[in-house]
A and B are shown apart, each in its own frame.
Chain A
Amino acid sequence: MKDFKYILRLTLTLLLITAVVAGLLGLVNGLTEDRIDALKREKAEQAMQEVLPAHRYDVIDFRMDGVTEAYRADNGGYVVRVSENGFGGEIDMMVGVSLDGKVCGVSIISHSETASLGANCVREDFRAQYVGADGEVKVNKDGGTIDALTGATVTSRAVTKGVNLALAFVKEVG
């Protein structure tokens, strides 16, 4: 009987602590959720404007592995959001493809690459290399034209793969 009481006490204490923690977290989540979502949306919209400026983007209802969102811009180009596995996790990026099937901009929305190495993938000079590509792109280590970031081949390959995926997607749709 004493044993049972003790076990009950253990369970109840742990349950109580977990419940309080869960309640508090729910509260904090409620307070921050809207802001986090708004930030995310703002970031995505900024990226879209950056890779292919337009007034309106219409959602395309076509799915492909790795492509998370796709839009047709009112000036005829496409904006494709892809995610690829980089070194530290998923790299979420936006690729703009113009009407003639050429890349017109790449923007990294979020990544978890190492600071000073893979994180350099957000740098303008790295991303600019993709502009104008219309066929399969490759990093220089694989015999292509893209100069991989120093010390971050995995990241560079992931971005390259994402760009190729976006091009393939546009070909499929357009």
Chain B
Amino acid sequence: MSTFVLLFTISLNAILAENFILVKFLGICPFMGVSKKTDTALGMGLAVIFVMGLASAATWLVNEYLLVALDLEFMQTVVFILVIAALVQFVEMFLQKALPALYQALGIYLPLITTNCAVLGVALLNIQNGYTFIESVIYGVTGGVGFTLAIVLFSSVRQRLEDCDCPKAFKGYPLALIAAGLLALSFMGFSGFKVF
């Protein structure tokens, strides 16, 4: 299989068949928390794509050239979360100085991303799957795209849920979860699907 085809397969899987939120259950907290409006959902999604791509690159390099080289692989979790926290902080400062317009749009979501399990999850999965540097970055970015797709789709469903009539006990999160379940059901259709 040529590299291009392999990368394409990884991307398609990350976006659809193994969608981070709806199939792998990574990043549910922000998914439920910031999906009330479509534009905030889109903002969060873009911030996540950005950070997941960067985090994949950074953690892969740290793992390969620091942890594996020094035989400290057991420190992976601690080091990865520190790298991600530092990265998020750095991105925040950089955006504030260099691209204030983008910072205005994404700024409030950035601190929330440190504890988004999709980010730490993608870093750990890259290592577990034995991906190369390029594959890791692609997996990170497309995993973020999958996250964005799910959260944007869900936000439009959710706006309608707000006004609908339902038993009192189901108001709010329960109904949202059930709606998310139905969305997950439709994504299941992709899992039988094979490109190559």
Q: Interface of A with B (CB < 8 Å)?
A: 18, 21-22, 25, 29, 33, 83, 85, 87-90, 112, 141-142, 153-154, 157
Contacts and interface: CB of A to CB of B under 8 A. Distances in A.
B78 A25 contact: yes
B130 interface: yes
Given A29-B74, A90-B130, A141 B125 contact: no
Given A25-B74, A25-B78, A83 B130 contact: yes
Interface in B72-130: 74-75, 78, 82, 125, 128-130
Q: Do most interface residues of chain A lie in helix, strand or loop, or is the interface mixed?
A: helix
A41 to B, nearest CB: 17
B129 A153 contact: no
Q: Do most interface residues of chain B lie in helix, strand or loop, or is the interface mixed?
A: helix
Contacts of B75: 22, 25
A153 B78 CA distance: 34
B140 to A, nearest CB: 16
Contacts, number: 31
Contacts of B128: 89-90, 112
Interface of B: 17-18, 24, 74-75, 78, 82, 125, 128-130, 191-192, 194
A35 to B, nearest CB: 13
A141 B78 contact: no
A88 B125 CA distance: 8
B15 to A, nearest CB: 15
B78 A85 contact: no
Contacts of B130: 83, 85, 90
B129 A154 contact: no
Nearest to A83: B130
Contacts of A33: 74
B73 to A, nearest CB: 9
Contacts of A154: 17-18, 191
A88 to B, nearest CB: 8
Contact of B191 (A22, A142, A153): A153
A112 B24 CA distance: 12
Contacts of B78: 18, 21-22, 25
11 contacts: A18-B78, A22-B75, A29-B74, A33-B74, A85-B129, A87-B18, A89-B129, A90-B129, A112-B128, A141-B192, A153-B192
A31 B78 CA distance: 18
A154 B193 CA distance: 9
